[in-house]
Chain A
Amino acid sequence: MGSADEDYNFVFKVVLIGESGVGKTNLLSRFTRNEFNHDSRTTIGVEFSTRTILVEDAVVKAQIWDTAGQERYRAITSAYYRGAVGALVVFDITKHQTYDVVDRWLKELYDHAEASIVVMLVGNKTDLAQAREVPMEEAKMFADNNGLLFIETSALDSTNVEEAFETILKEIFHKVQKQKQRSSQSNTVSLASENPSSTAPAQAERRPCCVAL
């Protein structure tokens, strides 16, 4: 796992949310450690892991945070979303109920996270295509209408897991670059803004987790 002295240009905090059992923890472990656990236990509290990847010419350290989907462990909320610049809202394509509540997850996300957060809708478990309950077109349309990125993945057979994280990190990166151009502020300024509460209409680049070296 990443140590503090690693060499990187940006740190992006990305959170995983969605109903219990949709495969958030396995998406995390597949992306960061290339592991999949068939009988993984339910998450209590938070788990997290990092992976450093190259986005265009920048070295980006992705801090992925994963939390319990179960309602009764939802005390985490604001502490969990603090500083996040990206979110994967995950549902299980074989369980329509997990897709029905995406709305609720989005609401919680926008209630607690910065408005500028990049959000991707992720339909997981494509390896169980024969049991599919959520048509891809339906989810894709929902994502388009709500301004979300969309992808279908399988943490089990690795399909699209890399792509999902790479896409969202790239999107965040572009957003940061744009912000940087717009506000002609230097990197040092973005670094200085350590206090999340002071960045009211937050720009991704000014987030404390988004450190430009």
Chain B
Amino acid sequence: PARARHWGLIPVLGYSLGCWSLSLQEAIQLDGQILFSLLHKVSPVAYKHLSKQKIDPILYMTEWFMCAFSRTLPWSSVLRVWDMFFCEGVKIIFRVGLVLLKHTLGSSDKLKSCQGQYETMERLRALSPKIMQEAFLVQEVIELPVTERQIEREHLIQLKKWRETHGELQCKSPPRLHGAKAISEAEPAPRKALEPVPSIIVSPGPTPVPKARKSKEKSREKGPASPANGPGAEGNGAPGTTRELLHPQVSPHHQSKESLSSRESEDTYL
């Protein structure tokens, strides 16, 4: 999960900081169009209402998408949404947007007070706390039948439309990577798996190390898997241990050096 979270940050940053002005404007407008056409399937009533009032998607979704809902939802919901987003990718952002639109403008009853463009915008700015509530929102997002494929297909359609009306894109973005799995598969080799790095590295040579402890550790590493995760190994993360058990090809010399240094730092602090 730590890894998923880490790589998940890239789309967020890429979206908000990635390219400069023109391409960002294009990206957000394009996503707005994609969101809007998906809304057609999710909630025809809301779609019709927004079309009728000529409310451009960028008027309400810019902040949603650029801040990944952090300025919109209560914090507990933001955390849940981000968790899903980092793991499953951008479809979560689209789905959250669609759920909010559906439950705000999705029935004629709800539209009674949205007579004009301004009233509708106001409604979208002051969303009902009920629909933003963590449990409700997450359930709705999970159940919403909007897949990556649909988003990709809609992306291509909107891209084509964009080229017809605006000409070529200023900035060609690489294909969207849907979620942590796709991201890690797209860049497999050069990136090492995330692993804890000891913050203090003591050169192994001259430092005196209690002998008994060192040998105890070595013997533990040779044993079956279980002790590595035992209470002894956990405290300071014992970075070497788990990894080495999984990758026995690592040279024994290197092994002992790493576990030594981590032990060292533990000693320093204790």
Contacts and interface: CB of A to CB of B under 8 A. Distances in A.
Contacts, number: 66
A196 to B, nearest CB: 8
Contact of A48 (B20, B29, B66, B118): B118
Interface string A179-213: 00000000000000000100000000000110000
Contact of A79 (B56, B66, B125): B56
B60 to A, nearest CB: 7
Interface residues of A, number: 26
A73 B62 contact: yes
A48 B55 CA distance: 14
Given A72-B21, A196-B54, 12 more contacts: A1-B122, A3-B113, A4-B113, A44-B62, A44-B63, A44-B66, A44-B71, A72-B24, A73-B24, A79-B58, A80-B59, A83-B117
Interface of B: 20-21, 24-26, 28-29, 54-56, 58-63, 66-67, 71, 113, 115-119, 121-122, 125-126
A169 to B, nearest CB: 16
B120 to A, nearest CB: 10
B29, B54, B55 — which one has the most chain A CB atoms within 10 A of its CB? B54
B28 A209 contact: no
Given A4-B113, A4-B115, A4-B119, A45 B62 contact: yes
Contacts of B56: 78-79
Contact of A71 (B21, B28, B62, B125): B21
B113 A45 contact: no
Given A3-B113, A82-B54, A75 B29 contact: yes
B116 A4 contact: yes
